[in-house]
Amino acid sequence: MDGAGSRPPNTSPMEPLLFKRSATLAAAALLSSATLASANDWTNWRGPLQNGVSLEHYTNAGKLSDTPAWTYAARGRGAPVVVDGKVVLWGYKGETTDLIELLTVLDAKTGKKLWEVEISDYLSDSIYNRYSIGAPTVDPETKRIYLVSNAGVFVCYELDGTKVFELPLMENLGRMTFPNSRVGSPVIEGDLVIIHFIFSNWGADGPAADRVYGFDKKTGELVWWSLPGVSPPVDSSFSTPVLETRDNKRVMYFTTGCGNLVCVNARSGRPYWKMPLCKNGMNPSVVIHKDKIITIHGDENVDTSEKGRMTAVKIPETLVPPPPPGLEAATLPPGNEAWRNPICATSSSPVLVGDVVYQLTDGGELYAIDANNGRELWKKKLSNANLHSSPLYVDGLLYCPMMEGKLVVVKPGATDAEIVQEIKLDGGVAAQCLGAPVVCDGVLYVTTTEKFYAFPIPNDGIKVDPAPVPVIPAAGKAAALQIIPAEVVIMRGGRQSFRIRSVDANGLVVSDKVEGVKWESFIPPTAKVKATMDASFNEAGELVVAPDAKVSAGAFKATAPDGTFGTIRGRALKGLPITEDFEAYQLTEEFPADAQNPAYKFAYPPLPWIGARFKFQVMEKDGSKVFGKSFDRLLFQRGTVFVAPSNLSNYTMQADVMTDGSARSKADIGLINQRYLICLRGNANKLEISSNLERLAQTGAFKVSANTWYTLKTRVDVNADGSGVVRGKIWPKGQPEPEAWTVEAKVAKAHTQGSPGIFGFTPMNQKRVYLDNLSITENK
């Protein structure tokens, strides 16, 4: 069929683009032709138009064959990407202890595996094998692959399988996990790769929030980060940012775990505005229609008790960053809502074709909505339910994978739609379709929880519309310094060099190298802990941590000869052995009384520790200063803290631990050793070794008495063949250490490194847990 003639009226896929062709714009000359993928490469899960629409058109296209050209035995819940004749797939294999995530590259024509890497899960909250809910991204310029795993391992690989970098976001930046396991996908903008998750880092960024991080796409160094919404969040979000040029700025739009639609500068991270829409986290990606952002959610609205809504939000003509200190973006007034429609989708993203939005709802219905006014054009029942999966629009047809394991092909019209084909995939209801399909070179790819499929679209020829080229504004006058890396960890005796470049007020690079800067310690005016990093800059511009430096954290400010400046922050840490008894902390802060607890004095947790703020405090207990679980926020009743770098290995941890409570009600306290949690479960009366509870849960019985101090000890031993043993023992404080371990867990593939940490869980913040006399030493 002819692609143009098969579309409903006013639905050319090119109409909604806020792009222009490079051949007619001098500004596009700033973007080398080498940075562009070919038009029919599918380098991100939303496609070349960022809205689920393909640029391919076919001569005499036929129906899909009920039999795929090939399949691959990989399970998944997301979408692949396709580039240079290769399919890049994120999936998993196994069921329980043997379950492992896979980054796989296949030959697009044959399905032959070219290479594959395994990525182990650890310390995650994932349940029911909810893995690979997201997608890899390929940079069109470098052809490098970017992926964030379920546990927050951020990896970059060359297309030939060579590893470029690997960043454990959980341990390095406090990236959190949730039982829904929604991960999403990175996006590429210029020389940046950008992600957003719920992070609980250190210092001012310790409180959990949906933060966005921009990394150098070639090195993995952090360039900037920001909080575009509000803290605390309500849930996670896997909404993929959508990019455009507006008001002479490169910006992106996405929804957050705090229920906001946000606009952020894609080059600097500066938040411009937010619009609260939902009382829960929002997951679908947005689409841009003219001067509006169209988004949808499936939870309670902020202004009514009704659940779910599709909303169009008018984009402000002028984008103004917040005033100093720039901690929170402006909130758009209700008048910026252009229209609303009461349809509901928890995690399925809309597809925009010209002036029509196509949306799969939670009830399994496909809607067509007029993007100009929100009016329903038609709806078609495709299934009884839908989760995550989004349609794909190709040459006049919508390909809709449904939750019960079928692929439905729909021909949309102006007032109705026709179901032209249904394909039941292997495995029946067990083979759930939860991701979006993608298309490249006339082949449709779709993932299920049982298998990966490649369906050719029969045709006599393929025509591909030119891929859009973003208009990159010209840089203006230098307004600030951008220092890379923006956050560092330096061990005692180590040093770190920096790249310093100037950027204009819109975050665009003016000069790649700025010399002659002067460095000084910097304490942000909003800092609750007025601290500095025990380090100094040498004549070469390197930040040096002396061999005897204090474990510390703080910021530095660099000022250029022209007066422009920028800041970085860092942590000075030490290797093994590590000890902490908390006696040096001054309890100068006061926690107010509540109905269950009197007021008390406390100190903020050690500043360099990841994830500690608002979860733990230094307080007095039994005449000593200890590390105690805080009760100020119920959201943080469960807390994970990392106290040292993620590259440590072969160490033994020991600490004194205690839980408040009674025989009927206690809490949990544990140590994290090399990505394994060894936890004293108070109510269960056991010592438990786990990493993800569905992957590993080994227990040893131990009677736990409330208000009693115990000594907890753990170590991990890794064998030459990659297997290992995780051990833990517990005994009353002050008594001789028993020879036998309370619990041991043998693992076939052991984690070989990981940050030492502390874990606490105080159900409903009723009973507190405490830790003291922490020591981390080399295995002996």
Judge whether residue 19 has pLDDT over 90.
no
pLDDT of residue 2: 36
At 690, list the tokens.
């786990």
pLDDT of residue 28: 32
pLDDT digits (tens, 9 = 90+) for 91-143: 999 988 889 999 999 999 999 999 999 999 999 999 989 999 999 999 999 99
Judge whether residue 14 has pLDDT over 80.
no
The reported pTM is 0.93
With a CB cutoff of 8 Å and minimum separation 6, the contacts of 393 are: 13, 52, 53, 54, 351, 353, 358, 399
- Are the C-beta atoms of residues 426 and 433 closer than 8 Å to each other? no
pLDDT of residue 40: 76
| Edge-to-edge strand list for the sheet holding 365-370 | 351-353, 356-360, 365-370, 376-381
- Are the C-beta atoms of residues 568 and 519 closer than 8 Å to each other? no
Verify cis geometry, omega within 30 degrees of 0, for the bond prior to 284.
Answer: no
pLDDT of residue 39: 57
Q: What is the CATH number of domain 578-778?
A: 2.60.120.560
Verify cis geometry, omega within 30 degrees of 0, for the bond prior to 325.
Answer: yes
pLDDT digits (tens, 9 = 90+) for 157-208: 999 999 999 999 999 999 999 998 999 999 999 999 999 999 999 999 999 9
Question: Would you tell me which CATH number, out of the four given (1.10.630.10, 3.10.20.30, 2.60.40.10, 2.170.130.10), belongs to the domain 480-573?
Answer: 2.60.40.10
In the chain, domain spans? 4-464, 480-573, 578-778
Looking up tokens 């064959």 gives 65
CATH 3.40.50.300 for the 4-464 domain, yes or no? no
Q: Can you list the pairs that 342-345 forms with residues at least 24 positions away whose Cβ atoms lie under 8 Å? A: 342/306, 342/308, 342/309, 342/310, 343/296, 343/308, 343/309, 343/310, 343/367, 343/369, 343/376, 344/296, 344/297, 344/298, 344/307, 344/308, 344/309, 345/284, 345/296, 345/297, 345/298, 345/308, 345/310, 345/386
Q: Provide, rounded to the nearest whole percent, the portion of the chain with pLDDT above 90.
A: 86
pLDDT of residue 23: 31
Mean pLDDT, rounded, of the chain: 93
Q: Provide, rounded to the nearest whole percent, the portion of the chain with pLDDT above 70.
A: 94
pLDDT digits (tens, 9 = 90+) for 667-683: 999 999 999 999 999 99
pLDDT of residue 477: 98
Judge whether residue 26 has pLDDT over 80.
no
pLDDT digits (tens, 9 = 90+) for 320-365: 887 766 667 899 999 999 999 999 999 999 999 999 999 999 999 9
What is the rounded radius of gyration, in angstroms, for the C-alpha atoms of the chain? 27
At 459, list the tokens.
């045709």
Distance of CA 93 to the CA centre of its chain: 22
